[in-house]
Structure 1
Amino acid sequence: MLTAWMALTWGGIALAADEEAYFSDFPVVASVSRLPQRLADAPAAVTVIDQSTIRASGARSLNDVFRLVPGFQTYPHSTEPARVSYHGLSDEDYSPRVQVLIDGRSMYSPLFGSGVNWATLPVALEDIERIEVVRGTNSVSYGSNAFLGVINIITVDPSLTRGFSVSASHGSQNVRDYGLRVGGRIGDVGDFRFTYRQQNDDALANRGDWIDDFQSRLFDFRADVAIDDRNALQLNAGRAEAVTGVGRLNQLTGTGKPDNPIRGLHQSDTYAQLIWRHVVSPSADFQLRYAYVVDRANDAFNFVFPTVPPQTFYINQSGDEGVRHELEFQNNVQFASVGRLSWGGSWRDDSMRSAWVLPAQGTVHRETARVFGNWEAKPASWLTTNMGLAGENDSMAGFLWSPRLSANFHLGAENTFRLGYSRAHRTGSIYDYRADYRLTVKSGGMTVYDRYPYSADRNLQPESMDTWELGYLGNWRNWRASLDVRLFHEKVTDRLYTIDRNANNNLVPGLTTPIQDVVIRGIEYQFKWQPLEQTRLALTQSFAKIDSDYLASALSYPNGTLSRPEDYRNIEDLTERSMPRRATSLLWMQSLPYGIQFSLAGYWQDKMKWSSNSWSAKYRRFDGRLAYPFRLGGVSAELAYVVQSINGAHSEYKTFDGSGSDPGGFGRIVDRRQWISLRLDF
């Protein structure tokens, strides 16, 4: 049991289901309280996505997978980075309110706005064992970036990937993907896995004033070594690279705009992580984890302004470098009669340097120290309680407390109700606290050009959120069905937003500041059913309403983003429609004769706003996959055909009104994409 507990806690092989557990392949989750728990005992709603579901979805990019999770929104990368958000509030480019973990390592980046850059996410889809998605705040366990939710990606144990595997995908829109995976033994003490993955496509159809393309490469290595029966080491290391097209065209000349030319945004993520796990006793264990990550970006160009004489400016808006060092200790203890405890602490140093965003500041450091604890107790067979508390001291944001309290009421083995409360905080990025830049061109003593001036607020206060939720989990094993319902009320206080104060060229720099109090309320559910041995269905829906009220301080700025009543409404829409009021997903997985696997995914989403100047129109989308596994001598193989957006072109990110029309031709249109994949396992 201890070995199984350790495996779940540290991302190894899932526990087998007992007779009372949820029927899913992974009935036990460890992402909520850092304790392995049955779904019925967890203090938050969790969606588990296994490898078979990922394959069946037909996803080629990881962010696409989260269309299957109720309350989540995503769109594909284009000239803007792909985003994944939960319950909206998604105006920042890299969606910093959802924490993403890979084998315990945070994908939070000080360079990319304290969020996640999905273009350089260092994991291949085929290396994912499962994803545990915590739907709701989990700052208690993972800090301020877990403000709205957590995505915990757990990769396959290297002992299960021995041998040699190659894969290739070719299709429309210049899809050209190649993969290589090698796994083997390390003497008599461990196993390793090495993965190389390359992707290329022309992304969305080029329209209007932009050109879209994408290419990426991934090198990923993991080794697990057992030192003795009480100590084990896990090493992860690798690098992910991506180039995306950015910039704008002058439609009259067909050339790039001088102040934003067509160019490549080069991005990379280099990482190393070492985890030491130690069994203290049959009822206690601990782990010590160190992670080192370097993110880099470069989209530099020279801007020549036609004064007399011409003036040349070097601009690198996305550069240059973000570095993270993180050290974390975690101890799990089981007490004979009073419950289980997971506690620990962490320290991290985030640093960023950028000649454009942080001019003359050199390398800016930010230190954060955390302590956390989660306690599970079962005072009666019908009751499970969870209590959590975390304290976080941030060198830029100050000290913050995050508590959580929940109670799960078990009405027999098949029905559980959950009532919970939690408080969370989200701090701004290094950019929000320290950025100070502008591009000012003067001629003859007069300012003739002023580009987006910004000056950070070093005393910026964090957002906070109070969440109440009522949950229900039904597990009807005789019917091979389960239902997970979450009723939520989330109140965000002092929601942060970057406002422009430079209207009418008054040379007042913009800043990030609290502008609103926001209430998000609604209901979401996921229903899984296996009516026949060869048939699996998964249905999700979310219904939500967001309301907001401006803070008096936000309306005191006389120019820029909030200068007129129509501007107030525009930002209100960006907040209140940042989540579709209704969204549905349905995944049908069917095993056919001769081992053929068929799946069809459907998505229906109301209109919403990702950006202040455009809408994402209401749409529906269908993706399909047909796969045939076979053998060639001693080689296992699979041939698959995937079609995305079977029903044709639609917008998922930008149109310029909510109806779906795009009179200027500047939207982002997702059209039908199809490809054939072949995988050989030696």
Structure 2
Amino acid sequence: MRKCLPLAAALLLINGEAAWAQESDSPDFPVVLTASRMKQSQLRAPSAVTVIDRGMIEKSGARQIADLMRFVPGAVVGYNDGNWPVVSLRGMSGVYVSSLQVLIDGVSVYSPLWGGMQWSDLPLGLDDVERIEIIRGANAALFGPNAFSGVINIITREPGADCGSKIGGNLGQGGIADVAFSHGGASADWHYRLSAGQRASDGFTSRPDSQRLLYANLRAEYHINGNDSLQLTSRWDDVTKDVGDYRLRGNAMQPHTEQGHGADFQLRWTRAQSADNEFWVQYYHQRTQRWNHVNVDLRDTFSLPRVGPFANPLPYLIDIDFLTQRDGVEFQQTLRLNQGLRSVWGLESRRDGVVSTRLMGTGSERASILNRGFVGLEWQMNDQLALHTAAMLERNTLAKTAWSPKVALTYEPVAGHVLRASVSRAQRTPTLLEKYANYYFDVPGQGRIQYRLSSGAMNSESAISEEIGYALEYHPARVTLDMRWFRDRYRGLVGMENKDVVNQDEVRVQGGDLTARWEPRDGTRLRLAYSANRVHADDRGGSYSISVPASTLSAYWDQALTRTMDFSLNYQRVGAMFWLDSGQKKRSLPPIDYLNLRLANRMTLGPHRVVLAWVMQNALGSHSEYYLGIFGTPVTRATRISFIEFSVEF
């Protein structure tokens, strides 16, 4: 860093004649896809939607996708350790946020085993992402029972959108060593985009949590004719990470290395006659494998004296390996039935499978079969009033048949001012681990010690969500505003009772959030996101009453300093909260203030376009981070980190 900083400072101050034109994103609401599965302005969408666009992604100062969620009102981003980010909407969760549906290009990627997302293992670089659409609230009527608290749809860049090659990365403190390469092009009727890279860091100094992720992506599109196209997406990753805690010995959490790889494949045929008349059918396959071997000394496990018969080590191998696979076929058709009526409907059949001798108590595969169908209608009754309805029927072998309806009204009394109201029902299906968890250990001299954690009797969690919203698009002042009030009622939330997984807790959460964007002049963009929450819970099994922060606040400022230099600031404050499985004995973490700073310069060096930036993450200093402290591990402290960000296009 000492060698790089003088050069970086010099380059940041260069203002060549060959300057780039300053980008100026319109403050208008963009077109979104996730709210209703039909293209429409975010202003008139029947759900509260947050959009993280390409400009914000580039200037955020983030290294991975999870940190971009700090822009979302009500979102909480915590780190169990340096290679394990956790993303939740409003809290009410632990490490595995199984109530949040996460999609990549519309395909679900949450873990069939755990139910949550391993954000740090996503085989995507930030440059692979075009935008992210987040539904702030349940949308199970269109995306299934696991769209329980929200939907995050990561939309990748189109093939051929940026022809040519690009190399970039990050280098700095904490062992940060990221590199990414991409190339896009076209050949006859083919368009393609290929990317590959590495994301690596040493994590927190207090934990063994270094990580190195290698990934590669291919997205290609073949235009068969004017209406038909064939799209292919393939991804691969290989991960090596350190896990555990330095203070622990003799159990599965002592320091060790975890390895794994993953691959997914998606093939889609689309026939599009117009924006409102198209259908597509696709097949997708996902596979994830992890090797997690821990070599322990049983003398540490049972606190045995190191003398006499226990003078020599008593080695024992704990393996927590698993393999997950997901295969699915999906069909969707969008139709404009008449001038005021649009519809979308679809079918999906999916199979999830898990093999884990340690976690499931058997070497055989545990599987679930999902079959579902959905329909959505948008009726524009007049120029001001629109009715939106949707419903999904799903049969999953892990739970009872689920019926998830939604009704919404949008009313635009004056152009640019939209009121909306909605009510919906959602379920969260149990994960394969919740349904079939069966841990056991073969201990020498003691036989098999077995802990069956689930009788399989649990059923889906359920929720009723009510929402009133208001959206504003005011062109003269270059301002947009999106705000809502909501009330969510949850029943049958999962918890542990007598060493069994059961439905037990009831929780009510009500509150509001808002997002305001203002572009007072070209080169200046301001964005504010705020949420306030109040929770009532019976807390029979969990600690939900303190698991939701009373408020969150995020602010984003992007400022052009010269024709080639710009500065951005990204700040978030999360109120005190308790993570459900953090091992803190129902003691909330104090409020967290998180600040990213970024100073960048854009240059043209011959035929190449170059960006060089200095980034400081967590600029306000250290704070207590979320941790999985089930063995009494110490609180993890996140500290200030600086790095250099670079990219070269050629």
TM-score, structure 2 as length reference: 0.90
Partner of 1:671: 639
Pair 1:118-2:115 in alignment: no
Task: Find the aligned partners of 2:612 and 2:419 in 1 and give their Cα distance.
Answer: 44
Q: Distance in 2 between matches of 1:136 and 1:23?
A: 26
Are residues 77 and 231 of structure 1, via their aligned partners in 2, closer, same or farther at CA, if it must alter by over 3 Å? farther
Q: Which residue of 1 aligns with 2:12?
A: none
The question of 1:217 aligning with 2:220 is answered no
Answer yes or no: is 1:602 the counterpart of 2:571: yes
Q: Are the equivalent residues in 1 in contact too, given 2:549–2:577 (CA < 8 A)?
A: yes
Q: Deviation at 1:227?
A: 0.7
Residue 180 in 1 paired to residue 181 in 2?
A: yes
1:383 aligns with 2:381: no
Q: 1:514 aligns with which of 487, 503, 506?
A: 503
Distance in 1 (CA, whole Å) between partners of 2:589 and 2:68 is: 19
> 1:40 aligned to 2:10?
no
Q: Distance in 1 between matches of 2:602 and 2:502?
A: 55
**Is 1:284–2:273 an aligned residue pair?**
no
Taking structure 1 as reference, are residues 99 and 489 closer, same or farther at Cα in structure 2, changes over 3 Å only?
Answer: same
Aligned to 2:11: none
What displacement does 1:80 show?
A: 7.1
Alignment deviations for residues 374-431 of structure 1 (CA, whole Å, 9 cap, x no partner): 1001111110110001000001212110000000111211211111000000011111
Are 2:519 and 1:530 aligned? yes
CA displacement, residues 85-134 of structure 1 (integer Å, 9 cap, x when unaligned): 1122212x2211111111122112213x1221112112210111111111
The 8 Å contact of residues 23 and 482 in structure 1, kept in 2 or not, is answered as no
SS in 1 for 2:98: coil
Q: Is the CA contact 2:582–2:627 (under 8 Å) kept in the aligned structure 1?
A: no
Q: Which residue of 1 aligns with 2:109?
A: 107
| 2:295 corresponds to | 302
8 Å contact kept, 1:616–1:654:
no
Aligned pairs for 1:197-346 within 5 A: 197-206=197-206, 210-250=207-247, 256-279=249-272, 284-306=277-299, 313-317=316-320, 319-346=321-348
Aligned equivalents of 1:654, 1:297: Cα separation in 2 = 21
- Structure 2: gaps (5+ residues): 1-24
**Cα contact 1:264–1:299 (8 A) shared by 2:** yes
What's the counterpart of residue 593 of structure 2? 620
> Letter of the aligned partner of 2:220 in structure 1?
A
Q: Is the 8 A contact 1:239 1:271 kept in 2?
A: yes
The superposition leaves residues 266-317 of structure 1 with CA deviations (integer Å, 9 ceiling, x where unpaired) of 2332100011101357852100011100011121123443487987643223
Q: Quick one: distance in 2 between partners of 1:29 and 1:266?
A: 37
What SS does the corresponding residue of 1:59 show, helix, strand or coil?
A: coil
Pairwise CA RMSD: 2.2
1:514-552 Cα shifts (integer Å, max 9, x gaps)? 1210001101101110111111100011100111115xx
Query: Which shows bigger deviation, 463-472 or 149-158?
Result: 149-158
- Range with greater deviation from structure 2 (100-109 or 453-462): 453-462
* SS at structure 1 position matched to 2:357: coil
> Which residue matches 2:64?
61
Using the alignment, how far apart are the partners of 2:218 and 2:554 within structure 1? 34
Q: Which residue of 1 aligns with 2:432?
A: 430
SS in 1 for 2:160: helix
Q: CA–CA distance in 1 between the matches of 2:219 and 2:628?
A: 42
Match of 1:471 in 2: 469
Shift of 1:598: 0.7
1:541 aligns with 2:530: yes
> For residues 572-631 of structure 1, what are the alpha-carbon distances to aligned partners after superposition, in whole Å with 9 as ceiling and x for unaligned?
3xx122221011111000011132111011112211112342232212121100111111
5 Å matches for 1:556-595?
Answer: 571-572=542-543, 575-595=544-564
* 2:37 partner letter: R
What is the match of residue 85 of structure 2? Answer: 82
Bigger Cα displacement from structure 2, 346-355 vs 292-301: 292-301
- Give the equivalent residue in structure 2 for 1:18: none
Give the aligned partner of residue 6 of structure 2. none
3-state SS of 2:110 partner: coil
* Other structure's SS at 1:433 match: helix
- The aligned runs of 1:121-132 (5 Å cut-off) are 121-132=122-133
Task: Give the Cα separation in 2 of the matches to 1:665 and 1:122.
Answer: 30
1:52 matched to 2:45? The reply is no
CA contact (8 A) 1:87 1:520 kept: no
The separation in 1 between residues aligned to 2:243 and 2:362, in whole angstroms, is: 26
| Alpha-carbon distance in 1 for matches of 2:467, 2:63 | 33
Are the counterparts in 1 of residues 60 and 568 from structure 2 also a CA contact under 8 Å?
Answer: yes
SS in 1 for 2:43: helix
State the one-letter code of the partner of 1:274: L
Residue 150 (str. 1) matches residue 158 (str. 2): no
Residues of 2 paired with 1:361 and 1:199: CA distance? 33
Alignment partner, residue 4 of structure 1: none
Task: Name the aligned partner's letter for residue 198 of structure 1.
Answer: Q
463 and 420 in structure 1: CA distance in 2 versus 1, 3 angstrom threshold:
same
Q: 1:288–1:328: 8 Å Cα contact kept in structure 2?
A: yes
Q: Distance in 2 between matches of 1:244 and 1:640?
A: 28
Aligned pairs, number:
610
Contact 2:76 2:574 survives alignment (8 Å): no
Query: Is 1:631 aligned to residue 607 of structure 2?
Result: no
What is the alpha-carbon distance in structure 1 between the residues aligned to residue 30 and residue 437 of structure 2? Answer: 45
Distance 1:678 1:389 in 2: 46
Residue 613 of structure 1 aligns to which amino acid in structure 2?
A: G
Shift of residue 213, structure 1, vs aligned partner:
1.2
Partner SS, residue 538 of structure 2: strand
Identity of aligned residues (%): 28
- State how far apart, in whole Å, the 1-side matches of 2:323 and 2:355 are: 6
1:473 is displaced (CA, Å) by 0.4
- Contact 2:361/2:440 (CA < 8 Å) preserved in 1? no
Q: Distance in 2 between matches of 1:619 and 1:284?
A: 47
How far apart are residue 441 of structure 1 and its match? Answer: 4.3
Structure 1 residue ranges (4+ consecutive) displaced by more than 6 angstroms after TM superposition: 307-311
CA distance in 2, matches of 1:212, 1:301: 15
Structure 1 residue 440: Cα displacement: 6.3
Question: Which of 441, 447, 455 is the equivalent residue of 1:457?
Answer: 455
Shift in alpha-carbon separation, 1:152–1:298, aligned structure 2, 3 A: same
Higher relative contact order (Cα pairs below 8 Å, separated by 6+ residues):
2
The DSSP-based 3-state class of the residue aligned with 2:84 is coil
Structure 1 residues 80 and 223, CA gap change in structure 2 (3 angstroms) = closer
Give the CA deviation at 1:205. Answer: 2.2
More deviation in 281-290 or 215-224? Answer: 281-290
CA distance in 2: counterparts of 1:226 and 1:651, whole angstroms: 52
Q: Given that residues 349 and 365 in structure 1 are in contact (C-alpha distance below 8 angstroms), is that contact kept between their aligned partners in structure 2?
A: yes
CA 1:391–1:366 in 2, change beyond 3 Å: closer, same or farther?
A: same
Change (3 A) 1:154 1:79: closer
Q: How does 1:128-143 map to 2 (within 5 A)?
A: 128-143=129-144
CA apart distance, 1:341: 0.3
Note if contact 1:536-1:590 (Cα within 8 Å) is conserved in structure 2: yes
Residue identity matched to 1:482:
T
State the one-letter code of the partner of 2:423: Y
Matching of residue 362 in structure 1 with residue 364 in structure 2: yes
* Deviation at residue 259 of structure 1 after TM alignment: 4.7
The answer (yes or no) to whether the contact 2:27–2:519 under 8 Å persists in 1 is: no
Contact 1:628 1:638 in 2 (8 A): yes
CA separation of 1:26 and 1:165: change in aligned 2, threshold 3 A: farther
> How far apart are the structure 1 equivalents of 2:71 and 2:644?
23
